[in-house]
Amino acid sequence: MRTPLIAGNWKMHKTLAEASELVKGIREGVGGISGVEVLVCPPYQHLFPIAEAVKGSAVKLGAQNAHFELEGAFTGEISVPMLVDAGCTHVILGHSERRQYFAEDGPLLAKKVRAAVNGGLTAVYCVGETLEERESGRTAAVVERHMTEAIGKDVPADRLVIAYEPVWAIGTGKTATPDQAQEVHALIRGLLASKYDQATAESIRILYGGSVKPGNAETLLAQPDIDGALVGGACLAAGDFVAIIQAAETTVAMPS
């Protein structure tokens, strides 16, 4: 049984005052929730204060990116040891916005994933196709390429989370249908089984991301291979994010 993970990617949003308000609302909202792991990924500058704000709660802290080197002359970058120092347990890697706007590619992401897991973080590694790739029937090939480029048996399975994020569904209000998402999640589970083994593949969480909202979360999360959500827009309001976490709690309680 995989514990669902609901992760919020705050992207480049929120001043410190706004971030503090948001995390306070999340912390209060998740007080009585059980059986769901919750992760917030604020901008770097807020990591230390948000680490303080979530102390003693079930909310975990993650970053949105990391460099693969431990230290060095890499202006504007941040290292895995720095993220660990700030209290992070997770880091998002390979987000489509990093791939698209910052030219992050497979070989680079392979190094980042290894730096993260070797440094003690759980990597939330994102994969997913563009609209053009989906419409030309290349979804499976693209997802397989993203998986093959950065994930291998040397990546410890207990430090790995995969996020399937169809690019056409991110920030667009268009969500993959539960069937569309389940089909790709099952494909990813199969790819994990071929890299590791079936039992290990069954233990790795695969999140769905792409316009997840309180209104669509439950049907997505009820799919057998959808083990949580990576949430962008809807994680910026505590009420919406908590409602998605509650939807995950409801699916845990459902008979399988």
Q: How far is the CB of 235 from ligand PEP (least distance, A)?
A: 7
210 is an interface residue for ligand PEP by CB under 6 A? yes
Residue nearest to ligand PEP (CB): 232
Using CA atoms, how far apart are residues 121 and 160, in angstroms rounded to an integer?
A: 9
Radius of gyration of the chain (CA): 17
> What string marks each residue from 158 to 197 as x (binds ligand PEP by CB under 6 A) or -?
-------x----xx--------------------------
150 is an interface residue for ligand PEP by CB under 6 A? no
46 in catalytic set: no
Selecting among 95, 129, 146, 249, the annotated active-site residue is 95
231 is an interface residue for ligand PEP by CB under 6 A? yes
Q: Other CB atoms closer than 10 Å to residue 256's CB: what's the count?
A: 7
233 is an interface residue for ligand PEP by CB under 6 A? yes
42 is an interface residue for ligand PEP by CB under 6 A? no
165 in catalytic set: yes
Which residues touch 148 (CB under 8 Å, ≥6 apart)?
191
212 is an interface residue for ligand PEP by CB under 6 A? yes
Count, residues near ligand PEP per rule CB under 6 A = 13
211 is an interface residue for ligand PEP by CB under 6 A? yes
Selecting among 37, 97, 129, 165, the annotated active-site residue is 165
Residue with tokens 């190094």: 111
64 is an interface residue for ligand PEP by CB under 6 A? no
Nearest Cα residue to 60 out of 201, 245, 233: 245
50, 61, 230, 244: residue in contact with ligand PEP (rule CB under 6 A): 230
Nearest Cα residue to 123 out of 149, 155, 147: 155
Instruction: Give 249-255 contacts, CB < 8 A, sequence gap 24+.
Output: 249/33, 249/34, 249/35, 249/36, 250/218, 251/4, 251/218, 251/221, 251/222, 252/3, 252/4, 252/35, 252/36, 253/35, 254/222
Tokens for 203, please give them.
């233990």
3-state SS, 94-114, equals CCHHHHHHCCCCHHHHHHHHH
232 is an interface residue for ligand PEP by CB under 6 A? yes
Q: Considering the complex, state which of residue 119 and residue 233 has its C-beta at the smaller distance from ligand PEP.
A: 233
Q: Provide the binding-site residues for ligand PEP, judged by CB under 6 A.
A: 9, 165, 170-171, 209-212, 230-234
Catalytic residue IDs: 95, 165
